[in-house]
Chain A
Amino acid sequence: AQSVTQLDSHVSVSEGTPVLLRCNYSSSYSPSLFWYVQHPNKGLQLLLKYTSAATLVKGINGFEAEFKKSETSFHLTKPSAHMSDAAEYFCVVSGGISGTYKYIFGTGTRLKVLA
């Protein structure tokens, strides 16, 4: 079975400072992991994904995440926050096997960026 835990429901950072959003997962298979961002009244947009290639994954808008199997983590980082990064972020793990149709969502982390 798969599960995902986002350790912080809310994170506040000042503009220009680093961002760290934490995600831990559990999976019986080699997982595929994703980070999505959702701005108010919008759909979810893919930031980046890990699919068993390089463990350090670079995404859009300067975000990156590192897959650490020993720690079962997939934390999202960005060196310098922008006001436009304020949004809800979801960590997602897939079923790990094509055709299982299951995407397990974390409960989300709301990022607030202070001027």
Chain B
Amino acid sequence: DAMVIQNPRYQVTQFGKPVTLSCSQTLNHNVMYWYQQKSSQAPKLLFHYYDKDFNNEADTPDNFQSRRPNTSFCFLDIRSPGLGDAAMYLCATSRDGGGTGELFFGEGSRLTVL
């Protein structure tokens, strides 16, 4: 059974046209993360939520925003996608945010910017 579900799996947008990616989880984990992964690179953390407490990485562009309306759902909003934002976006959860708990990943959403 899927535990972290991302939609859509594939998203095509035009330069500058806003896009929203969604993530839902059935694990009831406190922490949710958004990672950006470009081709042949490691995932790069954009931000995370501990419950409703939002934490932005220092180098995450302002173009990227996130919302977490409840424990189960988290959204990634890209306000004005540029060509450099084309990537795989991975949602992950963890029970306690580090320590011994592992990350649980969704299948990812691949964004193409035309």
Contacts and interface: CB of A to CB of B under 8 A. Distances in A.
Given A44-B103, A44-B105, A100 B98 contact: yes
B69 interface: no
Interface stretch (B41-49, B59-67, B77-85): B41-49
Given A43-B108, A108-B42, A96 B99 contact: yes
A98 B96 contact: yes
Contacts of B88: 41
Interface residues of A, number: 29
A52 B55 CA distance: 28
A63 interface: no
Interface string B32-62: 0100000011110100101000010000000
A102 interface: yes
A42 B6 CA distance: 11
B70 interface: no
Contacts of A99: 50, 96-99
Given A41-B110, A45-B105, A101-B31, A94 B42 contact: no
Contacts of B97: 98-101
B90 interface: yes
Interface residues of chain A: helix, strand, loop or mixed (majority): loop
Given A43-B90, A44-B90, A51-B100, A101 B42 contact: no
Given A34-B102, A43-B4, 14 more contacts: A32-B98, A41-B108, A43-B107, A43-B108, A46-B104, A90-B42, A98-B100, A98-B101, A99-B97, A99-B99, A100-B97, A101-B31, A103-B103, A107-B42
17 contacts: A32-B99, A41-B110, A43-B90, A43-B107, A44-B43, A44-B92, A44-B105, A49-B102, A51-B100, A96-B98, A98-B96, A98-B99, A101-B33, A101-B50, A103-B94, A108-B40, A108-B41
Interface of B: 4, 6, 31, 33, 40-43, 45, 48, 50, 55, 88, 90, 92, 94, 96-108, 110
A-B pairs, top 10 by smallest CB distance, nearest first, are A98-B99, A43-B105, A95-B98, A51-B100, A101-B97, A105-B42, A100-B98, A44-B105, A43-B107, A98-B96
